[in-house]
Structure 1
Amino acid sequence: MLALGASTALLAGCSDDTAFGRMGMPEPGSEQGEHVLNLWQGAWLAAWITGIVVWGLIFWVIWRYRRRRADDIPVQTRYNLPLEILYTIAPVLMVIVFFSHTVKTQNAVLDDDLPVDNTIEVVGYQWSWAFNYGLGDRDDAADEDANDDEFAYGDYVWENGSASYIPTLVLPVGETTRFNLHSPDVIHDFGVPGFLMKMDVVPGRVNHYEITPTEVGTYKGKCYELCGVSHSRMLFNVEVVERSEYDAYLEELEAKGQESEAPLLGNDFTRTQAGLEGDAE
């Protein structure tokens, strides 16, 4: 009854509107993040219930079988078959349940059958990020995972950062954007805490995932993989905007001359350090 009452109270407190209800997770700003948050909350709830049951049994045994007289001799028990079966089967069942929910969440957040509205070729390089935005109609026949010669668009505009400039990734709200992840040097990890999603950026391999932002606003992005001496500088900003603002931003990049017939995937970006510092001013 104690465990049931405590679990009921925990369920009532698991509201997504509070940091306690989210168990320390940020408020999700994407549809995919909602699935991750639900898995996180479920894992914590199961941990709390298990802890309450275990600690409750420990204190009950301490009280129930305490020594009542100085000359008491505890009952000597060599084994308890039902108890041994319980503490063997219960953890196995818990692992199966956790595994099942993890696979369901993974399938939901990495669903390649989602219709994609936009594709951005993301490049993580020592020590910043570049974002290549596709222009025009998307070609769904392009096999973007096979090699770097087939891309979803015929033309791109781009934005990149440097040691003195933190780049900004702009996304349209309510639309699904696919990130194709490239690295010309070492392993990085591309993630936005507010979206509750991240993924390794591996040289020679094009990993990808999709994000559907649900709230207009500003977010922070970073590299989650220790990738060298200036790893801490691999930051970027994220602006989720309405579609009209997104289109205007791409036109602004095009007007600046930051356009190419194919995405720039190396670290020899054409935007100079002087230009970056001038824009920052």
Structure 2
Amino acid sequence: MNALEQVGALLQLVPVQRAGAGLLLASLGLPLVGVVIVGLDIMPVRFAMMHVALLGIAVGMLLGLDPALCAIVACALAGAGVAPLARTPDGLSGAMGLLMSLAIAAALLVLSFSGVNANGAFALLWGSILAVRPSDLVVLGVLAVVVPALLWRRRRDLALLLHDRELAVVSGVRVEWLTMALLVVVAVSVGAAIRLTGALLVDALTLLPALAARRLGRSLGSIALWAVGIGVVVNAVGFLISLAWDLPPGPVLVLAAGAVALAAHLIPERRTTSWRRPTASPSGLSSH
């Protein structure tokens, strides 16, 4: 059986179909989350939410609840909880460091006195794309609608916030509310991606497409479109490659997305622009 025949045969399997559907839905929303992460310069949020997700998984296993759902809820609560500290990038970075330490300590404590199999908890962090369930598809489907809708409805406010926080404040943007909403969305998205690629490889769905898109786009709107387009293509190609050559999907997706991001950054700087240029005027902030 050649590679093409093998892919065709595997695509007849329900778990593989669910995995493909999950990746497609993730590609519609999670790259936009990456745009927010890059724009707000909150890279540590990904690592903090991985630790919070582990705590949610441990609590879920202790209480006999769905560990993946508990991870998402824990991430959402953590995102909302650190929002008041996001007035400055330094304040948020410090909060994320504290959150990581407390979350991993609490997770290990729960696992130690509950008698729960720690290997099972950590296994969820590595992800298993073929273990995607219908409930996971529902969560990803909601994100595929909510994230683009939020960015579209608040595109002007978001463009101002990503350009300059103080400018957004004096322009009448409800910065605190918008920041909280964005942090919650980012946190939930990281939790939702665990089932697909695992928390440690979540950058394949979020950050890497956004990094490439930021290099190629000329406005917030075009960056968002590039991010989604790159996410869809990279995830589709990476998934098919993993099926054809029987490779683990997570690392393949990361390598594919990383290759595209690297190629985008080889484009000369003069060919691209950024919506966050320090010399840009408020009127030059495009939201389309």
Query: Same-fold call, TM > 0.5?
Result: no
Larger helix fraction of residues: 2
TM score, norm. by length of structure 2: 0.23
TM score, norm. by length of structure 1: 0.24
Q: Which has the higher contact order (CA 8 A, sep 6+)?
A: 2
Q: Which protein has the larger Cα radius of gyration, Structure 1 or Structure 2?
A: 1
